[in-house]
């Protein structure tokens, strides 16, 4: 995983709440067995509408998505963050995110920034009114601001997720460092627990 | 005296492999269910890193999302589906994982086969690369949906780092009115808490209404916890749970059964244990429900009319409401019973177990599906199908004009040959009415199996409480 530190980029305003992962990428595109190439299917049916914000050339350079609450709800498909990342997004700002989507995004280095609804509203309005504005999303200082302006919003983030993102850590290796603890735990598991055989 | 704890806290604490300050707990995983859609990239990740599956015997795989539900022995229409299933065939062989493949009589929806085999037991941690893993919480297990990177993590380590969730008690009390079933309870709960109401929480469903639900009903309820945003949903194990499990292929036997029972009886939430959030509902106020919009929270009672979004208090809800009505091609004020249907789908991990099929068949018996409707019944597993056929349910359905299919996710998600055409309107026993969920442009109304069967026969929604059974 590539480390994530600071993102300075244009932002796309997607002013919708409860954006579910079926909208981010419909099930018919989940049949590929690779991790890459899902960006072209991002928001597949909404993009068929010419007025959809992702079709607006004014936002062609955007790397940050601003959305309404409960972003990423529904299916656990990691294809959703894969599609967002493959399309070019590096961070998403919203008042809240669905739990599984949050975990999936952390694993692949897609930064999720949770701000208060009124703060998101300010950034959303700015992105709508001045598409050229550039946001600065800084994971080290946990702030979001606008290039050329002297104010920022602070955001909270799970400290461990922040640590892994800043350092680009693969958490399977981190866990395997605890292999002894896992083996010790396994020795005391009760015998009545189910066991399958191939 | 130890601090009183909730069911989920007890399971959590007994599965912590490693706890370090500032880090999520590392939890041991007792059962990992695998299907074809969210596992290919995970197995590939293991290969690239030279890793193996740490505990293949705590892992079971099946195919459900892609599989056609008819003409399976002929060439499947989509080469990508053939490939995705073939990749799982190879992965389970290479990594030594038990597999209920497409020709195995036990094949079925991953959340139907775990309970059916007796693999989903009280007190366990269960994960699967699927959000509806919450289903297994019906047994008093902590069952969590995960993504592909996490699937790879569990395959490699049999553990999962997880931030500790908050707890939420949803207590439903009183007797359910006639014609009101678990599906209506879950739709009522989601209507009340909203689609994001459970974010960050594990829900424990409590109260006499819940205890009185069958195991199938509890599975329906826990299944849709994710539609309220919850991390998991669960019901404390009781004698009904134990009776369901006894004698199943992977349930403990003999002395192990006794030891398991002793342990399982310690699991229910202690008197005085605190929940972070408490929600209460009266069963008497729950009616047969129908969703009108594009989130599972947008539902009304069958006797109601399509709401006017302008009457909603919140500006966001107004906007979402109008957007949903436009997509659904519905007008405020239309009576739900005047909404006409093109398709009916009875199936999915929410409502495809034997009890669901019995309830639907009891409604359909002796009637004919309306000529304007195409209706399918898709059992949750090969074994559910066999059981239903033994009981003659297939005859009731086919004589009424329903199509009787093979097991799979089918029309729940538009990933296999069963999907809605643009503009088609469907009464569905599944779990999501998102835009395009059942096929691009398709319009989904979520209902119980009985409501779906009655709607198929009448061609529009009807109040199941007035249904005349043959």
pLDDT in tens, B133-183: 999 999 999 999 999 999 999 999 999 999 999 999 999 999 999 999 999
- Residue B448 confidence class, pLDDT cut points 50, 70, 90: very high
Helix (H) or strand (E) holding B142: strand B142-145
Residues of A whose CB is below 8 A from B38: 76-78
3-state helix, strand, coil in chain B (%, to 5): 40, 20, 45
Length of chain A: 198
**Residue pair B415/B409 in contact by the 8 Å Cβ criterion:** yes
Mean pLDDT, rounded, for B377-386 = 98
Q: Give the closest-approach CA distance of B306 to chain A in angstroms.
A: 20
Closest-CA distance, B286 to chain A, in angstroms, reads: 24
| Mean pLDDT of chain A, nearest integer | 96
Residue B1 confidence (pLDDT)? 62
**Any B CB within 8 A of A140 CB:** no
**Burial class, B329, CB count within 10 angstroms (exposed 0-12 / middle 13-18 / buried 19+):** exposed
Q: Is A70 within 8 Å of B199 when comparing Cβ atoms?
A: yes
For residue B194, the Cα-to-chain-centroid distance in whole angstroms is 18
- Is domain A6-188 in CATH 3.90.550.10, yes or no? no
Half-sphere CA count of B32, side-chain side, radius 13 A: 31
Cβ-nearest to B149 among A78, A186, A189 = A78
Across the interface, whether the CB atoms of A22 and B156 are under 8 A apart is answered: no
- pLDDT tens-place string over residues B96-121: 999 999 999 999 999 999 999 999 99
On whether any CB of chain B is under 8 Å from the CB of A120, the answer is no
Tokens of residue B84, six digits: 């995705």
**Which residues lie across from A112 on neighbouring strands?**
A92
Contact A101, A21 (CB under 8 A): yes
What is the pLDDT confidence band of residue A171, given thresholds at 50, 70 and 90? confident
**Is the pLDDT at A198 greater than 60, yes or no?**
no
Residue B30 sits at the chain A interface (C-beta within 8 Å): yes
The answer for B 117-146 residues in CB contact with A (under 8 A) is: 118-119, 121, 124, 129-131, 133, 145-146
Confidence bin at B314 (pLDDT 50/70/90): confident
- Mean pLDDT across B329-343: 98
pLDDT digits (tens, 9 = 90+) for A106-119: 999 999 999 999 99
Distance from CA of A150 to the nearest CA of B (A): 30
**Separation of first and last alpha carbons in chain A:** 33
Interchain contact, A99 vs B118, CB within 8 Å: no
Establish if A160 touches chain B: CB-CB under 8 angstroms. yes
| pLDDT of the residue at A2 | 86
How far, in Å, CA of B360 to CA of B216, rounded? 14
Domain ranges of chain A: 6-188
> Rounded to whole angstroms, how far apart are CA atoms B367 and B397?
9
């Amino acid at each position: 995983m590539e480390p994530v530190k600071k993102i300075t980029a244009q932002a796309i305003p997607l002013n919708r709440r409860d954006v579910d992962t079926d909208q981010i990428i419909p099930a018919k595109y989940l049949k590929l067995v690779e991790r890459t190439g899902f960006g072209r299917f991002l928001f597949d049916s909404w993009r068929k509408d010419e007025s959809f914000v992702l079709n607006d050339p004014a936002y062609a350079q955007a790397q940050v998505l601003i959305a309404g609450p409960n972003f990423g709800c529904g299916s656990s498909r990691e294809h959703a963050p894969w599609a967002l990342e493959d399309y070019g997004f590096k961070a998403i700002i919203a008042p809240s995110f669905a739990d599984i989507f949050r975990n999936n995004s952390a694993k692949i280095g897609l930064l999720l920034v949770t701000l208060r609804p009124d703060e998101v509203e300010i950034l959303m309005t700015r992105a709508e009114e001045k598409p050229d504005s550039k946001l600065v999303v800084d994971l080290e200082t946990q702030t979001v601001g606008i290039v050329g302006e002297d104010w920022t919003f602070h955001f909270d983030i799970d400290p461990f997720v922040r640590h892994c993102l800043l350092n680009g850590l693969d958490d399977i290796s981190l866990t395997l460092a605890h292999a002894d603890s896992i083996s010790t735990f396994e020795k005391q598991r009760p015998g009545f627990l189910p066991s399958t055989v191939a | 005296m130890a601090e009183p704890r909730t069911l989920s806290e007890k399971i959590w604490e007994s599965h912590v492999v490693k706890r370090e300050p500032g880090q999520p707990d590392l939890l041991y995983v007792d059962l990992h269910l695998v299907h074809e859609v969210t596992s290919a990239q995970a197995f590939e990740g293991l290969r690239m890193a030279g890793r193996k599956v740490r505990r293949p015997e705590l892992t079971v795989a099946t195919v459900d999302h892609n599989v056609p539900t008819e003409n399976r022995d002929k060439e499947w229409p989509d080469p990508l589906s053939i490939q995705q299933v073939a990749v799982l065939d190879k992965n389970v062989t290479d990594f030594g994982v038990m597999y209920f493949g497409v020709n195995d009589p036990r094949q079925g929806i991953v959340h139907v086969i775990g309970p059916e085999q007796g693999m989903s037991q009280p007190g366990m941690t269960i994960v699967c690369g699927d959000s509806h893993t919450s289903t297994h919480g019906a047994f008093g297990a902590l069952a969590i949906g995960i993504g592909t990177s996490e699937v790879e993590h569990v395959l490699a380590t049999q553990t999962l780092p997880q931030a500790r969730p908050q707890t939420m008690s949803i207590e439903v009390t009183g007797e359910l009115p006639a014609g009101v079933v678990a599906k209506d309870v879950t739709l009522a709960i989601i209507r009340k808490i909203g689609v994001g109401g459970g974010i960050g929480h594990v829900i424990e469903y409590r109260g006499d209404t819940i205890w009185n639900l069958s195991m199938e009903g509890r599975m329906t309820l826990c299944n849709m916890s994710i539609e309220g945003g919850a991390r998991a949903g669960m019901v404390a194990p009781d004698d009904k749970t134990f009776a369901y499990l006894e004698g199943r292929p992977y349930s403990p036997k003999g002395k192990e059964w006794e030891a398991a029972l002793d342990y399982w009886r310690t699991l229910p939430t202690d008197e005085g244990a605190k929940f972070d959030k408490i929600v209460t509902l009266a069963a008497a106020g729950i009616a047969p429900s129908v969703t009108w919009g594009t989130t599972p929270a947008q539902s009304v009672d069958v006797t109601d009319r399509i709401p006017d979004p302008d009457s909603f208090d919140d500006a966001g809800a107004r906007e979402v409401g109008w957007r949903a009505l436009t997509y659904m091609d519905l007008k405020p004020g239309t009576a739900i019973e005047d909404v006409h249907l093109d398709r009916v789908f009875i199936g999915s991990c929410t409502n495809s177990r034997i009890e669901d099929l019995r309830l639907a068949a009891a409604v359909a018996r002796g009637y004919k599906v309306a000529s304007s409707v195409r209706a399918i019944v898709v059992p949750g597993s090969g074994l559910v199908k066999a059981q239903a056929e033994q009981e003659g349910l297939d005859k009731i359905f086919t004589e009424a004009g329903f199509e009787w299919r093979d097991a799979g996710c089918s029309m729940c998600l538009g990933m296999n040959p069963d999907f809605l055409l643009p503009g088609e309107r469907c009464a569905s026993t599944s779990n999501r009415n998102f835009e395009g969920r059942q096929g691009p442009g398709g319009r989904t109304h979520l209902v119980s199996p009985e409501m779906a069967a009655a709607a198929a026969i009448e061609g529009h929604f009807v109040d199941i409480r007035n249904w005349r059974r043959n």
